[in-house]
């Protein structure tokens, strides 16, 4: 037997009522949200908010309805109708019933049929609905009231201008100035009390004026600039302007006479944002061993708002010495906090950069403000994370001598050849002994050079080389304060630096023995060349030390040849950048003539003070006479960027134009020009000679 009733039918009225009740309670909220959106932004936001609220309401209503399921139905039926004998569940049971249960179910179903499903629905929650609608109505009223307060322009303020006008001429009797800053500033429109306006650059200025009696036409006249006609509306004459450059303006109307006062229009420029490093404390940070990430914190501030998105430029310099590879990558970071003062916290995982000892990681943040169009970009300070280079191994004992990084002075092979040639030329003028001594000296130089190059092929020095020449510019160390064994040892003082220890790679990083194959750092071909050079040097040395420079010369030249080949074999070529040298004049090269080598001498361009116009005017204003006010006006307009307060100068010019002979106004303009004058480089004030008396006095001085 099929049961005559389905649960859904029983539930439908209750569900309908519950949903209606829920919607009735919460719909005022959606309305209020929509109204708020309308008040704040306009129709779009109102619609959006309302739709959002309606969706949320629908969803919550659906969930309310879903709560009323079969379990609820059974429970409420059992609770309400005692006649059902707590067996309503059997009627709506989904599964097959036992015969006994079936019998009971039929019984109950018959009783159920007499019942009205409508009775299951909850009654309206009237009090909650009333409260909700009352609150909603109050909120809507408040919004409406606020909105009317907000949008209604204040009445025209009486003007403070007191100009003597003939009775029939129109007079300015009311004024209202509304300043609408650009949207990106986030500033609310405001009303200005005075006609002197200072507002963010890019603001829209809306004027409304009342005249009495009503004129035929009215306009705003920018001093030295355009004319903005005013249009007559309901509450007066109105006009608008976008404020970009500082200017002076006058309110004029047809029929107005006399000198009208000028008012200021002064834009406040948008300052570029500022970046400050909060963490780390110093610009150069050394990486600690085992450091995995690097935390950097910037703080950016701006007068209106900082763009939350900033670009972080990361430059890596990996490698040491000449073998440094640079790589640059950038990523976008997001700032948090107050728009005017945003914090950019960046945790850089270091593993991705592949830093090696001795390499650097440079981080730099580029931020922008929200100015539109063309946001102002500012690049912050660079922060460097340095992976410290490994300390050179501690030297002990004799190696200590090789640690000295001192420039070694020794003669080059070329110098040896030049010396030898000079000695050969001077042979006639030298005594035999002297010649011998000088030849021997050159031989010593040649030997030192041979030892120097010999180190590269693993030649063990035959003896401890002693520097015959001063090996450093450093002065002799001062007499030590301590004597040996006074219990205050700094360890053995390093010996005078060994000749040729600069860049002595083998001595620094290894220990060489006379087993040349094991010690050499050069490839076999180069080593071969070097060995040939050393052989030639050896020959030259022998000849020099025995007083036969002529015999040594060919060997020296051969050695030089080989050394050049060796050097070229291992040379790194780098492109030359930077200065462009003038071509060499081959005709005068090595002639020794100096005539004309200084071109036209060092020519300097004198410091040009580009304030000749105001300086002339400043001087001219000291005396009565005509002033070129138009030229001055033009100059000030062209140089507004340099001048702190160009409007005050323009105002002074404008006032003087009306009364060119007024002494007070001339003084005023002269004072205003002082701020415009460039300070010239300090000149010299010559002293007076004191006249005849003074000259006689100084002549009498001994």
Partner 1 sequence: MPDAQTLAALLIGAGALAAAVRLLLLRRGWAGGALAALSLASGALLWLTLFPPLLPVGGETLVVATAESPPGTRAAPGERLVALLEAPALAGAERVPDLATALRRHGQVQRLRIVGRGLPARDRDADAGLPTRFDPLPLPRGLVRLDPPADTPAGGVFALGGAAQGLEGGTAELLDPAGRVVDSRVIGADGAFTLGAAARAPGLATFTLRLRATDKALVSDTPVPLRTLAAPEPLRVALIGAPSPEAKYLRRWAEDAGFDLGSRLNAGAGVDLGGGGGVRLDAASLRKTDVVIIDDTALAGLGGGGRAALAQAVAGGLGVVVRMTGPASAASRGQWRSLGLAVEGGTEAAPIALPPLAADADALAALRGPGSGDAPAGLNTLEDPVPELGRWAVSAGSQLVPAVTDAEGALVAGWQQRGQGRVLLWTMPESFALVLSGQSDRYAQWWSRALSAVARPDRQFRPTLAPLVQTGERMAICGLAEGARITAPDGAETALAIDPAAGAAGCAAFWPKVAGVYTILQPGDEAEARFDFLVLVEGALQTIRAAETGAATALWAARQDAPSARTPPERRGPAWPWLLGWLALTAALWWGERRLRNAAA
Using CB under 8 A, list all residues that contact partner 1. 594, 597-598, 600-611, 615, 618-619, 622, 624, 642-644, 648, 663, 670-693, 695, 698-699, 701
Strands in 254-401 per DSSP E = 263-268, 274-279, 284-286, 293-301, 309-320, 323-334, 341-349, 360-368, 377-379, 383-386
Q: Which is nearer to partner 1, 84 or 653 (CB)?
A: 653
DSSP annotation of 274 reads E
**Least gap, CB of 245 to partner 1 (angstroms):** 18
What's the min distance (Å) between Cβ of 598 and partner 1?
A: 6
Closer to partner 1 by CB, 233 or 681: give it: 681
Q: Kindly state the smallest distance separating residue 224's Cβ from partner 1, in Å.
A: 21
For CA atoms 548, 551, 554, 555, give the dihedral sign: negative
Say if residues 575 and 481 touch (Cβ distance below 8 Å). no
> Please, which residue, 16 or 663, has the CB nearer to partner 1?
663
Residues contacting residue 246 through CB under 8 Å, at least 6 positions apart: 264, 265, 266, 267, 640, 646, 647, 650
**Choice between 278 and 664, CB closer to partner 1:** 664
State the nearest-atom distance from the C-beta of 634 to partner 1, in Å.
17
- CA 261 vs CA 257, 284, 499, 570, 670: distances in Å: 12, 59, 87, 83, 20
DSSP annotation of 336 reads B
Question: Shortest gap between Cβ of 653 and partner 1 (angstroms)?
Answer: 13
CA distance 440 to 538: 13
Element (H, E) at 248: strand 247-253
Residue 177: φ, ψ to 5° = -125, 120
Q: In the complex with partner 1, which residue's Cβ is closer, 114 or 605?
A: 605
Min separation Cβ 417 and partner 1, Å = 26
Token couple for 643: 């001048």
649 token code pair: 């100068």
Taking the least distance from each CB to partner 1, the nearer of 244 and 689 is 689
CA distance linking residue 567 with residue 557, whole number of Å: 15
Nearest residue (CB) to partner 1, 322 versus 699:
699
Alpha carbons within 13 angstroms on the beta-carbon side of residue 636 total 33
Nearest to partner 1 of 130, 284 (CB atom)? 284
CB 278 within 8 A of CB 321: no
> Minimum distance between the CB of residue 163 and partner 1, rounded to whole angstroms?
25
User: CB-wise, 420 or 648, nearer to partner 1?
Assistant: 648
Query: Which segments within 9-165 are labelled E, that is strand?
Result: 157-158
β-strands 237-242, 204-212 pairing: antiparallel
Helix, strand, or coil (residue 606) = coil
- Distance, in Å, from the CA atom of 633 to the CA atom of 198, rounded to the nearest integer, reads 21
Residue 470 and residue 466: Cα distance in Å, rounded?
10
Phi, psi of 365 (to 5 degrees): -105, 130
CB of 700 to partner 1, least distance (A): 10
User: Considering the complex, what minimum distance in angstroms separates the CB of residue 195 from partner 1?
Assistant: 22
CB nearer partner 1, residue 272 or residue 671: 671
Phi, psi of 316 (to 5 degrees): -115, 140
**Which one, of 328, 339, 337, 389, lies nearest residue 364 by Cα?**
328
The least CB distance from residue 201 to partner 1, in Å, is 20
Q: Cβ 261 to partner 1, closest distance in Å?
A: 19
Q: Quote the least distance from Cβ 282 to partner 1, whole Å.
A: 16
- What are the start-end ranges of the H helices in 317-464? 399-403, 413-425, 432-454
Residue whose CB is less far from partner 1, 100 or 607: 607
Q: CA-CA distances (angstroms) from residue 291 to 51, 356, 391? A: 52, 13, 18
Q: How far apart are CA 58 and CA 19, in angstroms?
A: 9
Nearer to partner 1, 581 or 683 (CB): 683
- State in angstroms the smallest separation of the CB of 651 from partner 1: 12
Give the burial class of 246: count Cβ atoms within 10 A of its Cβ; 0-12 exposed, 13-18 middle, 19 or more buried: buried
Among residues 406 and 621, whose Cβ is nearest to partner 1? Answer: 621
Residues 6+ apart with CB under 8 A from 605: none
* Residue whose structure tokens are 């110098």: 415
Complex with partner 1: residue 489 or 610, whichever CB lies closer: 610
Q: How far is the CB of 298 from partner 1 (least distance, A)?
A: 20
367: buried, middle or exposed (CB in 10 Å: 19+, 13-18, 0-12)? buried
């Amino acid at each position: 037997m099929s049961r005559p009733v389905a649960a859904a039918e029983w539930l439908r009225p209750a569900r309908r009522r519950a949903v209606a009740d829920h919607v009735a309670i919460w719909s005022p909220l959606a309305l209020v949200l929509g109204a708020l959106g309308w008040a704040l932004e306009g129709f779009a936001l109102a619609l959006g908010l309302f739709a959002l609220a309606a969706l949320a309401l629908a969803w919550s209503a659906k969930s309310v309805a879903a709560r009323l399921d079969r379990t609820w139905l059974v429970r409420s039926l059992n609770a309400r109708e005692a006649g059902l004998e707590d067996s309503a569940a059997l009627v709506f049971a989904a599964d097959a019933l036992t015969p006994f249960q079936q019998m009971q179910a039929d019984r109950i179903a018959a009783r159920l049929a007499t019942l009205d499903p409508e009775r299951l629905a909850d009654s309206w929650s009237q009090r909650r609905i009333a409260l909700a609608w009352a609150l909603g109505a109050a909120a809507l009223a408040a919004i409406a009231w606020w909105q009317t307060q907000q949008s209604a322009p204040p009445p025209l303020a009486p003007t403070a201008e007191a100009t003597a006008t003939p009775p029939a001429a129109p007079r300015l009797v009311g004024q209202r100035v509304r300043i609408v800053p650009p949207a990106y500033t986030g500033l609310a429109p405001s009303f200005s009390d005075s006609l002197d306006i200072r507002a963010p650059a890019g603001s829209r200025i809306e004027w409304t004026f009342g005249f009495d009696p009503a004129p035929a036409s009215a306009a705003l006249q920018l001093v030295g600039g355009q004319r903005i006609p005013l249009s007559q509306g309901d509450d007066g004459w109105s006009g608008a302007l976008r404020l970009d450059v500082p200017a002076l303006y006058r309110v004029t109307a047809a029929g107005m006479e006399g000198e009208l006062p000028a008012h200021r229009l002064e834009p406040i420029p948008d300052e570029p944002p500022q970046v400050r490093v909060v963490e780390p404390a110093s610009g150069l940070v050394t990486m600690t061993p085992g450091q995995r990430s690097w935390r950097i914190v910037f703080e950016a501030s701006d007068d209106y708002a900082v763009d939350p998105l900033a670009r972080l430029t990361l430059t890596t310099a990996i490698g040491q010495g000449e073998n440094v590879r640079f790589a640059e990558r950038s990523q976008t970071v997001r700032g948090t906090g107050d728009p005017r003062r945003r914090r950019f916290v960046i945790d850089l995982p270091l593993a991705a950069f592949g830093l090696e000892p001795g390499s650097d990681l440079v981080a730099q943040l580029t931020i922008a403000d929200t100015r539109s169009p063309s946001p102002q970009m500012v690049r912050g300070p660079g922060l460097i994370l340095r992976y410290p280079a490994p300390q050179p191994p501690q030297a002990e004992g004799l190696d200590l001598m090789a640690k000295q990084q001192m420039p070694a002075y020794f003669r080059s092979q070329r110098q040896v050849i030049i010396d030898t040639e000079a000695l050969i030329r001077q042979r006639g003028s030298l005594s035999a002994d002297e010649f011998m001594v000088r030849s021997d000296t050159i031989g010593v130089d040649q030997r030192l050079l041979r030892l120097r190059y010999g180190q590269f092929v693993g030649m063990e020095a035959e003896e401890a080389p002693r520097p015959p020449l001063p090996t450093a510019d450093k002065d002799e160390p001062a007499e030590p304060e301590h004597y040996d064994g006074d219990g205050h040892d700094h360890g053995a003082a390093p010996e005078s630096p060994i000749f040729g220890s600069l860049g002595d790679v083998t001595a620094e990083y290894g220990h060489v023995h006379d087993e040349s194959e094991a010690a050499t750092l050069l490839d076999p071909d180069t080593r071969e060349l070097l060995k040939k050079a050393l052989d030639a040097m050896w020959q030259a040395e022998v000849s020099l030390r025995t007083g036969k420079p002529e015999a040594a010369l060919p060997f020296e030249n051969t050695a030089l040849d080989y050394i050049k080949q060796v050097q070229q074999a291992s040379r790194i070529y780098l492109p030359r950048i930077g200065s462009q040298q003038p071509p060499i004049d081959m005709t005068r090269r090595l002639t020794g003539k100096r005539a004309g080598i200084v071109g036209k001498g060092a020519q300097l361009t004198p410091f040009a003070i580009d304030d000749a116009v105001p300086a002339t005017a400043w001087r001219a204003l000291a005396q009565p006479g005509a002033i070129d006010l138009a030229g001055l006006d033009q100059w000030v307009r062209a140089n507004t960027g340099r001048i702190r307060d160009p409007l005050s100068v323009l105002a002074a010019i404008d006032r003087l134009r009306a009364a060119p002979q007024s002494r007070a106004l001339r003084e005023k303009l002269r004072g205003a020009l002082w701020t415009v004058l460039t300070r010239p480089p300090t000149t010299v004030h010559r002293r007076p000679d004191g006249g005849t008396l003074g000259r006689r006095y100084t002549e009498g001085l001994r």
